[in-house]
Structure 1
Amino acid sequence: MLVKLFIALLSFSYVQSDGQNREMITNFNPGCQAQKCPECSPGVVYVVSKGDNDVLHYVISAIGGPPTALVIKTNKPKGRSQLNIDCKKMASKNDTERKDSITKPEGVKVLYSFGVVFSRLFQYNDTADKADITSYNINSTNWRVYDFTEFEWQDITQWSSNNLIVMKVKDSGLVKDAAFYNESLVLQFHLFDHSDRSTELPHLQYNADSTQFDFTLQNIDTGNYSTARWGLEAVLLGADKKSLQMSIETQKSIDDEYTPGVFQTSNWYTKPGDKGSGGYLQWKPVCYLKSSRARSVATKVDTTGLHSTIDVNVEGFLQSSIMYTYYPDITNISRFATNFTFGLTKDGGFTTTNYTSWTAQLGYGAPPEDKVSSLVVGVISAGLGIPVILILFGGLFVIIKKKTAKGEYTEVGQDNSSIQ
């Protein structure tokens, strides 16, 4: 009976059932008649994700250099819900045309918008094995700075599908001896129409209001940096007043069921005071040094804290990105930057495997939260319950056995006295 109870408890698993399902429509190079459009190089992907009462619009592109993901939440009108996007104007060198490349049809009301821009990569030679990018001066010989505005990207439509958007670098031009080439940097955006959990480590939980991305560095010539490590600069923007502060909050958990050895989840909010109606960037502080992800090849992801974009001098990167086509007055909205750094002391650094891959997600509303699953609750209950049950039954058995033995002894004694 106890064995059956234990098996029944183990059979339970936590199923994420909240959230809505969405209908997704993917458009490649909107505004062009052909999917492949040289004038829109390296291409634009526009995804319309229709919910019960609203629509999420994703615009993803590396036009201008910086890889960018823009998210626009609108109402769900009775008529046409798709935005008017012209990728030719988006790729134009003329600012007037660029500002007119995203417009909304009549009846569509924008409820909120936000997005992320990846502006630069930092490579540093961690000779002291501190795994701390702030330990080295950016102007020293231990640093190399890679500017995404000078990168060339492969055609985004060549590798992308309806729910997977893939950006692959072609080369880094003359920047730092063209260390990046032939897919040595890859960004993949996974779009979802339902709620579930990723099948790959770190098994991030997602819903229909989020998109996950994998950032991968591989086969890069690090030159004379024998102990190279990397930092990725990212800027998060929200359609709020520039005076509104953003925040990064870390949640701790006692459970590492989905990501062994990791007990934290970090959320970067565009609207900390009203999380349900803002955007977020979510990640677990872990990345992987091999494509076959496992705990044995995991290392740490850290951030350098939030900084004003003026302090880190990324205004030019924002204006060159597609974000400027939707926010022509980009200097007057809320935006903050941070550096995601990869590595941990004594992990060997990037040069050990020449590979680093990190997963995070961009989403609207309150981010998904890890909860102790029914499986874990069942295991804990069984682990604590079975010994208690055994003690109770064992104690009861001993008491009954003693009483039975005492009764039998008394009866025998009475029989012997009567014979005498």
Structure 2
Amino acid sequence: MIPVEIKMQILTMLILLFISLAHGQDRKISSQRNPNCGNCTSGTLLYVRADGSHDTVHQLWDFTHGIPTIIFIISGLNATVNMTWDDKSPRKIWITEQPKYSFAIAIDKVYEYNDLQDNGYIDALSPRREFSLDKAIWSQEDILQTDEEVWLQMRTNYRQDPKQGSMQIKLDLLPFKDYAVELPHLIHTANSTLVDVSLVNFTQTRGYNASRFALRLIMVGTDDGALSMNYTMRKSLDDEHTPGIFEIIEIRTPECARGGDGGFLQFRPVGYTQPQRGVASSTMAHVSTFNKTQVPHDSTLNALYRSFDKDKLLVQNMFISFGESGDGYYKQHNFTSWSFTIGYGEPPKESFSTFVIAIISIGLGVPVLLALSGVVYLLVRRYRRPGPTRLVEEQ
């Protein structure tokens, strides 16, 4: 009979072995900076190709036109994306076969609003000033291009003046499913990209004593233009990765909302007011209603979508604003960061990590193992007990 201590060690080793299994790649990824541009010494457009078993996800991460843009194009395995350049930005983008689907987002404007009611969100009554990113000049701070990860970090000055603060954007793609390293630890997959936006030391407008900031996002999908994006807030009992935040917001294209392979944004309604993220530095992220709009004329979005049927192109915008009542407004910390994922297909669902599964397995397995060991011990002892002896009186 194996002692209980040895059984526990074997169980623990098996669980740790399960945890340490390496990720298998769901797609084969490759990337290229400024493809087909022979004279591009500055400016960054990163083309990422992710080949799966049945289709290819092409992504364009563009900062050449000023407006940060992420484009997804879904095609067959043999299709290629081509582009021609005008000086330092793409003039025309096309794919060699009819794409199965396309979805894109762009952050075209930053709004400063005077939150006089201390609501935390931007509304129609809030005095505001807008800063368009179409003239922004982005510098590349970091880049990683391997077959295991593609990573890009960009930065631009607020209002074209380094003394007035900066905006930073990080993008990360992995060819397998995983949780982001930083809070709120969003899930990103081979079909999605993790995006992180930070507003650092923004100078506030004179006369605005309750300044907050909001981002305006343009969303484009190859859907019926008469429809609308779909907003869903899901409740989750799992706050293992983002303590105290039990909501997940998903914005789906009509194709994705009806169960097809459309596009989506996924994020938790939380931002952070310090670079070191934690529960104490968290704040609310608010989503506005959706509004019909048009693709910006001088943009990478237009370089691709101007050849599409306008009736089969859905273009809407929305605001993401940050703050909550009593938090001291933006000036309290002079920093706000927010993370989201943009992807294709069904948005990923949360699940318990292997560490939690291991703890649950140990917690449930130990009592069961002890109980079984006790039963086996009692049965063995009973089996080995000698039978009753008859007393014989000596003569």
Global fold match (TM > 0.5): yes
Q: 1:283 to 1:181 in 2, by over 3 A?
A: farther
The two structures have a TM-score, normalised by structure 1, of 0.75
Q: What residue in structure 1 maps to residue 214 of structure 2?
A: 231
User: Is 1:147 the equivalent of 2:132?
Assistant: yes
* Letter matched to residue 147 of structure 1: S
User: Is 1:321 the equivalent of 2:269?
Assistant: no
Report which stretch shifted further, 21-30 or 68-77: 21-30
Superposition map of 1:5-404 within 5 A: 21-33=26-38, 36-37=41-42, 42-77=43-78, 81-88=79-86, 91=89, 98=91, 101-105=92-96, 108-134=97-123, 137-138=125-126, 142-149=127-134, 151-156=135-140, 159-162=142-145, 163-173=150-160, 184-224=166-206, 225-270=208-253, 271-309=255-293, 315=294, 318-328=296-306, 331-332=310-311, 333-373=313-353, 375-376=355-356
Question: Once the 2 structures are TM-superposed, how far is the Cα of residue 386 of structure 1 from its aligned partner?
Answer: 8.8
How many Å separate the matches in 2 of 1:301 and 1:217? 14
SS at match of 1:110: coil
Question: Once the 2 structures are TM-superposed, how far is the Cα of residue 35 of structure 1 from its aligned partner?
Answer: 5.3
The answer to which structure has the higher helix fraction is 1
Q: Is 1:9–1:379's contact at 8 Å kept on the other side of the alignment? A: no
Q: Is 1:169–1:181's contact at 8 Å kept on the other side of the alignment? A: no
How many Å separate the matches in 2 of 1:285 and 1:132? 12
SS at match of 1:199: coil
Q: Is 1:72–1:112's contact at 8 Å kept on the other side of the alignment? A: yes
* Letter matched to residue 159 of structure 2: S
Query: Unaligned 5+ residue runs, structure 1?
Result: 93-97, 310-314, 394-420
* Letter matched to residue 28 of structure 2: E
SS at match of 1:86: strand
Q: 1:66 to 1:154 in 2, by over 3 A?
A: closer
Question: Once the 2 structures are TM-superposed, how far is the Cα of residue 305 of structure 1 from its aligned partner?
Answer: 2.2
Deviation per CA, 1:53-89: give whole Å up to 9, x if none: 2211111213333211111011002xxx431122337
SS at match of 1:241: coil
* Letter matched to residue 52 of structure 2: G
Q: Is 1:90–1:325's contact at 8 Å kept on the other side of the alignment? A: no
Question: Once the 2 structures are TM-superposed, how far is the Cα of residue 4 of structure 1 from its aligned partner?
Answer: 5.0
Question: Once the 2 structures are TM-superposed, how far is the Cα of residue 91 of structure 1 from its aligned partner?
Answer: 3.0
Deviation per CA, 1:258-277: give whole Å up to 9, x if none: 00011011111112443441
How many Å separate the matches in 2 of 1:191 and 1:254? 27
Q: 1:387 to 1:145 in 2, by over 3 A?
A: same
How many Å separate the matches in 1 of 2:88 and 2:40? 15
Q: Is 1:282–1:367's contact at 8 Å kept on the other side of the alignment? A: yes
Q: Is 1:29–1:36's contact at 8 Å kept on the other side of the alignment? A: no
* Letter matched to residue 26 of structure 1: S
* Letter matched to residue 226 of structure 2: S
Question: Once the 2 structures are TM-superposed, how far is the Cα of residue 190 of structure 1 from its aligned partner?
Answer: 0.8
* Letter matched to residue 323 of structure 1: L
Q: 1:85 to 1:76 in 2, by over 3 A?
A: same
Root-mean-square deviation (CA, aligned residues, Å) is 3.3
SS at match of 1:240: coil
Q: Is 2:66–2:138's contact at 8 Å kept on the other side of the alignment? A: no
SS at match of 1:318: coil
Q: 1:232 to 1:383 in 2, by over 3 A?
A: same
* Letter matched to residue 320 of structure 1: D
How many Å separate the matches in 2 of 1:368 and 1:17? 20
Q: Is 1:308–1:336's contact at 8 Å kept on the other side of the alignment? A: yes
Q: 1:131 to 1:123 in 2, by over 3 A?
A: same
How many Å separate the matches in 2 of 1:19 and 1:245? 36
Question: Once the 2 structures are TM-superposed, how far is the Cα of residue 168 of structure 1 from its aligned partner?
Answer: 1.4
* Letter matched to residue 86 of structure 2: K
Deviation per CA, 1:111-141: give whole Å up to 9, x if none: 111100112111112233221311x625xxx
Deviation per CA, 1:331-351: give whole Å up to 9, x if none: 531122211111111222221
How many Å separate the matches in 2 of 1:238 and 1:211? 17
* Letter matched to residue 27 of structure 1: Q
Q: How many residues align?
A: 359
The two structures have a TM-score, normalised by structure 2, of 0.79
How many Å separate the matches in 1 of 2:132 and 2:264? 25
Q: 1:366 to 1:235 in 2, by over 3 A?
A: same
How many Å separate the matches in 2 of 1:53 and 1:17? 24
SS at match of 2:218: strand
How many Å separate the matches in 2 of 1:369 and 1:109? 30
Deviation per CA, 1:177-234: give whole Å up to 9, x if none: x5x6686101111122121111111111111011011010001111333332111111
